[in-house]
Chains A and B, each alone.
Chain A
Amino acid sequence: AQSVTQLGSHVSVSEGALVLLRCNYSSSVPPYLFWYVQYPNQGLQLLLKYTSAATLVKGINGFEAEFKKSETSFHLTKPSAHMSDAAEYFCAVSEGGTSYGKLTFGQGTILTVHP
């Protein structure tokens, strides 16, 4: 069975500061990994995904994530936070190719950006 743990349900940063949202996963097969963002009362929007190609994945809005197999991690970073980055972020894992694309989500991390 696969699982995802997001460390920190709330993260607060100042505008212009580094954003680091942590995600650790567990999977019995090589995983596909995803980060989604959700703004209030909206659906989830894909930020980026890892599907066994390059371990450093670049996404939209200046975000990137690095797949580290030895650490079973897929942390999300952005060098400089913007006020518009305030939202909830979800990490998700899929047992790529074996489970009809079913995703297991973490509990989410709410990012607050202070001026």
Chain B
Amino acid sequence: SQTIHQWPATLVQPVGSPLSLECTVEGTSNPNLYWYRQAAGRGLQLLFYSVGIGQISSEVPQNLSASRPQDRQFILSSKKLLLSDSGFYLCAWSLITDTQYFGPGTRLTVL
């Protein structure tokens, strides 16, 4: 069966510090991968998606970037965090045109 992992589970970072969130998927090959952000009262916002290694599509211009160095690894990064980057970050995977399956999420607080 497939599983998806995210870490860390929670993170508190000062403004201006760098960020690296990791997502890994087990039990499937060549999945589509997604990063979402969930801010209070704002629903889910798709940030990035990837259909293969090294292929990243950005949905919203912002202070964040994503990379996919391996087939089942998806990383969300920032060089300098802003207060507005606080939120709940969710990674998801799917096979083409099928259901998205979500990880447990990372709660990021920027102070």
Residues of A near any B CB (own CB < 8 A): 32, 34, 36, 41-46, 49, 90, 94, 96-97, 100-103, 105-108
Contact of B46 among A36, A41, A45, A102 (CB under 8 A): A102
Q: How far is B46's CA from A90's CA once the two chains are assembled, in angstroms?
A: 14
| B111 within 8 A of partner (CB) | no
Contact of A44 with B102 in the complex, beta carbons under 8 Å: yes
Q: How far is B90's CA from A45's CA once the two chains are assembled, in angstroms?
A: 12
Given A90-B43, A100-B49, A105-B44; A43-B90 close (CB under 8 Å) = yes
| Chain A residues, CB < 8 A from B12 | none
Given A43-B105, A45-B102, A100-B51; A108-B90 close (CB under 8 Å) = no
Given A43-B90, A44-B90, A44-B102; A101-B43 close (CB under 8 Å) = no
Interface size on B, as a range, is 20 to 34
Q: Which of B41-88 contact A (CB under 8 A)?
A: 42-44, 46, 49, 51, 88
Contact of A46 with B32 in the complex, beta carbons under 8 Å: no
Question: Chain B: which residue is nearest A95 at the CB level?
Answer: B97
Contact of A41 with B102 in the complex, beta carbons under 8 Å: no
| Chain B residues, CB < 8 A from A45 | 102
Majority DSSP secondary structure for residues of B touching A: strand
Counting chain B CB atoms within 10 Å of each CB, the highest count among A36, A102, A107 belongs to A102
| Chain B residues, CB < 8 A from A44 | 44, 90, 92, 102
Contact of B99 with A49 in the complex, beta carbons under 8 Å: yes
Contact of B100 with A42 in the complex, beta carbons under 8 Å: no
| Chain B residues, CB < 8 A from A103 | 46, 100
State the Cβ distance, B72 to closest chain A Cβ, in Å.
Answer: 16
Pairs A–B under 8 Å by Cβ, sample size 23: A34-B99, A41-B105, A41-B107, A42-B105, A43-B90, A43-B104, A43-B105, A44-B44, A44-B92, A49-B99, A90-B43, A94-B97, A96-B97, A97-B97, A100-B51, A101-B95, A101-B96, A101-B98, A102-B46, A102-B49, A103-B100, A106-B43, A108-B43
